[in-house]
């Protein structure tokens, strides 16, 4: 039997807290899960620094990747025998679903920002390079790794297949909303996925949803909205993110200035240089990063050591609402105050802005645009969701930016000063306590 058609002698299942069971029948899928590149996802947290806000959020991208695979498996089960659906594309979809996050590194968002990397490039590199994953995919058929890469890259010719993996209501999002809600324990993130799957229909170039399922889709959109504001953009998580980013910046800066590290950051050299090889990229998982951060707590450089201490022991910066454009004077006052106190404002006075585009909202570290959701009306016509749903319409496209100033309250407290701004900030922060 051709490798692509090989079935396991008995179906394998993974116990999954979100979908109850993840079912695997194909030898190809089984082999992919067993590759070292896929197993590596166990050492990358799905939600980066969120575990410092929600202690339950310690789950990995391995977890999520299996979940996305399972949802796609169920979507296709419903598509079988429907018009427009080509069962030949099934294995391709399953592989793309399973592997779509393969290129994620540790704390993706910060790493990408500081080192100017893109995890999607690494996903492509892993699929197409000299890897175990590539070997398995190549056994399926010549050119198969490229096909999988194209689907994930949204350049595959069959747009229907692309939209199963990547759209405003794809398996990726349906899994992470539910999974992140489950592990954080928040009460948002629930919607009737079973119903959505039942009303999904394959059209020529995209997956659409029957109009009768509109309310379930609205519910999904609202879940997303709540999860973004309650979990993904949580200011405490962003505080941890700020510190993490500053650690990476500092280490790079020190390295470039010829600083003599106690612990040579060998794993980081190529990242500092901006050009990690695939092997180097894969070697840097979160265990390794945490190892360095712990070692760096003992470094002589005070900034690096202090920031690492803060990250490892969760002594985060506090935050207040702050818009530097509108509050130029206050900003200057603080800047001077920090400088005078010998505290480098570049590292200890950080403004972070988050924006969201409800319905178009993106998650930090995620690709920008996706296909909008189309509803299939009884008369066979398609209409974009926000044209039929008041709720979705009302939250679509509105951009909301939110500026926050992150500072180490403990250090601010120590500064003896009559600064009004300092006084004001202290009051706000103590009120919040």
Footprint (CB under 8 A) of its own copies, residues 178-207:
182-188, 190-192, 194-195, 198
Over the window 325 to 364, marking each residue x when it contacts its own copies by CB under 8 A and - when it does not, the resulting string is ---------------------------------x------
From the CB of 53, what's the least distance to its own copies, in Å?
9
Tally of residues, the chain: 433
- Of 158 and 396, the one with the shorter C-beta distance to its own copies is 396
Nearer to its own copies, 89 or 285 (CB): 285
Does residue 312 belong to the site contacting its own copies (CB under 8 A)? yes
Q: Tokens 């968002």 correspond to what residue?
A: 109
Binding residue for its own copies (CB under 8 A) from 26, 50, 54, 107? Answer: 54
The CB-of-84 to its own copies minimum distance in angstroms stands at 17
Does 121 bind its own copies (CB under 8 A)? Our answer is: no
Q: Per CB under 8 A, does 113 bind its own copies?
A: no
| Out of 3, 4, 25, 43, the residue judged to bind its own copies by CB under 8 A | 43
Closest CA to 413 of 399, 431, 425, 402: 425
H-assigned helices in 341-416? 345-348, 385-388, 390-395, 409-414
C-alpha–C-alpha distance, residues 128 and 208, integer Å: 31
Question: What is the nearest approach in angstroms of its own copies to the Cβ of residue 230?
Answer: 6
Site for its own copies in 367-426 (CB under 8 A): 378, 390-391, 393-395, 398, 400
Minimum CB–partner distance for residue 124 and its own copies (Å): 22
**Nearest alpha-carbon partner for 109 in 294, 362, 390:** 362
End-to-end CA distance of the chain: 66
Whichever of 31 and 89 has its CB closer to its own copies, that residue is: 31
**CA dihedral over 99, 222, 356, 405, signed as positive or negative:** negative
| Interaction pattern, residues 220-259, with its own copies; x per rule: CB under 8 A | --x--xx--xx-----------------------------
Nearest-angstrom CA–CA distance, 47 and 59: 8
**What residues numbered 255-284 form the site for its own copies, per CB under 8 A?**
283
157 binds its own copies (CB under 8 A): no
Cα radius of gyration rounded to whole Å, the chain: 24
Cα dihedral 411, 415, 421, 426 in deg (nearest 10):
50
79 touches 202 (CB < 8 A)? yes
Nearer to its own copies among residue 92 and residue 227 (C-beta)? 227
Q: What angle do CA 362, 174, 369 make, to 5 degrees?
A: 30
Burial of 19 (0-12, 13-18, 19+ CB in 10 A): buried
């Amino acid at each position: 039997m051709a490798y692509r058609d090989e079935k396991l002698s008995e179906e394998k299942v993974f116990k999954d807290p979100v979908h109850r069971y993840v079912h695997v029948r194909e030898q190809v899928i089984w082999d992919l899960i067993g590759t070292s590149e896929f197993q590596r996802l166990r050492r990358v947290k799905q939600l980066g620094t969120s575990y410092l806000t929600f202690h339950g959020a310690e789950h990995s991208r391995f977890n999520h990747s299996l979940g996305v695979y399972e949802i796609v498996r169920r979507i296709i089960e419903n598509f079988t025998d429907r018009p427009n659906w080509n069962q030949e594309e099934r294995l391709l979809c399953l592989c793309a679903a399973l592997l779509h996050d393969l290129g994620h590194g540790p704390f993706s968002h910060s790493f990408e920002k500081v080192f100017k990397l893109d995890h999607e490039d690494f996903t492509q590199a892993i699929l197409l390079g000299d890897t175990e994953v590539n070997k398995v995919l190549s056994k399926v058929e010549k050119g198969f790794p490229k096909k999988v890469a194209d689907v994930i890259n949204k350049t595959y010719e069959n747009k229907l297949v692309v939209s199963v993996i990547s759209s405003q209501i794809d398996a990726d999002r349906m899994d992470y909303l539910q999974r992140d809600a489950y592990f954080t324990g928040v009460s948002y993130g629930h919607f009737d996925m079973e119903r959505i799957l039942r009303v999904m229909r394959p059209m020529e170039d995209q997956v659409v949803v029957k109009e009768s399922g509109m309310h379930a889709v609205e519910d999904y959109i609202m879940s997303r909205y709540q999860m973004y504001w309650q979990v993904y953009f949580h200011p405490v998580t962003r505080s941890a993110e700020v510190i993490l980013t500053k650690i990476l910046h500092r280490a790079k800066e020190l390295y470039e200035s010829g600083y003599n590290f106690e612990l040579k950051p060998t794993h980081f050299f190529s990242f500092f240089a901006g050009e990690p090889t695939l092997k180097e990229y894969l070697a840097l998982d979160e265990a390794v990063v945490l190892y360095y951060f712990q070692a760096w707590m003992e470094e002589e450089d005070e900034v690096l050591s202090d920031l690492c201490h803060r990250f490892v022991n969760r002594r985060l910066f506090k935050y207040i609402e702050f818009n530097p454009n509108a509050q130029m004077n206050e900003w200057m006052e603080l800047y001077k105050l920090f400088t005078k106190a010998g505290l480098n404002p570049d590292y200890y006075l950080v403004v972070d802005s988050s924006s969201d585009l409800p319905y178009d909202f993106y998650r930090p570290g995620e690709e920008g645009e996706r296909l909008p959701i189309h509803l299939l009306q009884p008369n066979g016509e398609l209409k974009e969701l926000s044209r039929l749903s008041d709720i979705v319409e009302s939250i679509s496209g509105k951009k909301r930016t939110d500026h926050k100033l992150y500072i180490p309250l403990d250090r601010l407290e120590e500064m003896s000063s009559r600064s009004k701004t300092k006084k004001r900030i202290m009051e706000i922060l103590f009120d919040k306590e």
